[in-house]
Structure 1
Amino acid sequence: MRGWWQELGSLILPTACAGCGEARAVLCEPCRAALTDGLARRMRFAPEPSGLPAVYAATEYRDQVRAVLLAHKERGVLPLAGPLGRALAVSARALCARAAVAGRVVELVPVPSARATVARRGHDPVRRIALAAAGRLRREGLAVRVRPALRQCRPVADQAGLSAERRAVNLAGALVARTGALAAGAPVLLVDDLVTTGASLAEAARAVRAAGGVPVGAAVVAGNSRG
């Protein structure tokens, strides 16, 4: 219910652009363009978490992009899922081509948030973006579907301010695949809105492998360049 009135309010009430705060639009054209230039970027990490698959992002995490992601995730500006999904599709498309998965359905598996966090926000931002991206990719002829196959199996501390090493320790063993959610050998493309150290994606890849899936990469909207 909360998502319904948030979305309706965004369409009816005058609003400032989520990116720049100036234009009278949910997202102005310059800020929409900042989400992607159509090119996917390979993210590098130092140190690189063990087991991390190739990670591609559509743009850098800064300025308007940071503001847009926070507006969608924390303030529930739900119409932003469309343009963010478009950006995620750029990363996902590049990874599908790289993995040579033609003829197979690729499972887009969102990195899950804690149930309490989803309840507090009133929506699941990564899953919402993943659904928007999947719709775009299917219209382009790619066989993909969103599969919320992972869940948190224990509490984790807030990651903000933690080093890469402490994030890895914090997340170790925190995710598990839902029973029967992944077929053995299924190609899995992990998806998230943001990557910083890669620790969350590495843990998600571990959980996918433990369930018999094959992580072919990780697609995100934005990330920080590390090399």
Structure 2
Amino acid sequence: MSNLSNSWNAFSPDIAEQYLKTYGHPSVSSKALLVDVLKQYTASVAKPSVIDLGCGNAQIGEFFIEKNFDCVYTGVDFSDVLLDVGRRVLPNANFIKDDVNTLGLIQGRYDIALYSHVVELLSSPEESLAAAKRLSDIVVIRFYEPPEFETDTTELKWMDVGNEQQVPFLRRKMSRDYYRMVLAKLDCKQVDIYRDATKDQVHVLLF
């Protein structure tokens, strides 16, 4: 498990800069859908506060600026190398180093708690979602692997971090039953689901 944790601090500086911008599938259409959803649910707030849980290098925060979504952005991650990039590209944003599985260091309340392609990477999604509920009455999840599987599975994947090095990470495929159980335990009042042309989905959990 320590090797898995260390994966997210293993990026070379140039790969950390480009992570999820060119690496893998950027899912531009679902990022645009995400922004539309966030604007819809914060339409009554002049400058909503958004906490991006598992922000990485803050590429979603950059996309917010590109799409004119004016918000008070806070990024949370436990990777120093990715947070360093975020602080450089978004100097006016807030960044906090914390474990997204537990979110034990985060205080305060936010208009939106956001996971963007992150829940699938968590070892403790139930614990993390319970902590996110403490931060906001609206939790938005952008899924790369929507919870539509019959059984839970976890894959060991490999990620190119530069310098001809690959490191392991986990990707979860969540079952419908587990997802429903978690939402029921958290007393989620409503789930609004938005789909784009790819398999990505945006879920809005209302508490």
Superposition TM-score tier, normalisation by shorter sequence? 0.3 to 0.5
Greater helix percent: which structure?
A: 1
Tell me which structure has the larger Cα radius of gyration: 1
Normalising by structure 2, report the TM-score: 0.41
Q: Higher strand share goes to which structure?
A: 2
Q: Could you say which structure has the greater relative contact order, defined with CA pairs below 8 angstroms and 6 or more residues apart?
A: 1
